[in-house]
Amino acid sequence: MPTTTTIDSEMSALKTRLKAIWESGDYGVFAKYLEKGALEFFDCLNIPAGTRLLDVACGAGQLTLPAARKGVATW
């Protein structure tokens, strides 16, 4: 059974590799491919105008921008 130190070391290595992958590309270009699905998802939520919506590290604004256009207050 792996020790906590081994698991921590493996997790740290994984995080380092994932960070390098995300930093190697242009997220804005990638985000355009997510936009259609994000808009479909947002429409399913049926959030009324005037609602306050908190966006915390949720990408490139795929949900925040359409929400603001519909009168949802984004933070």
- Tens-digit pLDDT profile for residues 20-35: 988 888 877 877 888 8
C-alpha distances in Å from residue 16, one per residue of 13, 28, 30, 46: 5, 21, 20, 38
Q: Which two tokens stand for residue 72?
A: 């949802």
The answer on pLDDT for 48 being more than 90 is yes
Mean pLDDT in the chain?
85
Phi, psi dihedral angles at 52 (to 5 degrees): -95, 130
The whole-model pTM stands at 0.54
Tell me what the mean pLDDT of segment 5-19 comes to. Answer: 89
Confidence band, pLDDT 50/70/90 cuts, at residue 3:
low
The answer on pLDDT for 1 being more than 60 is no
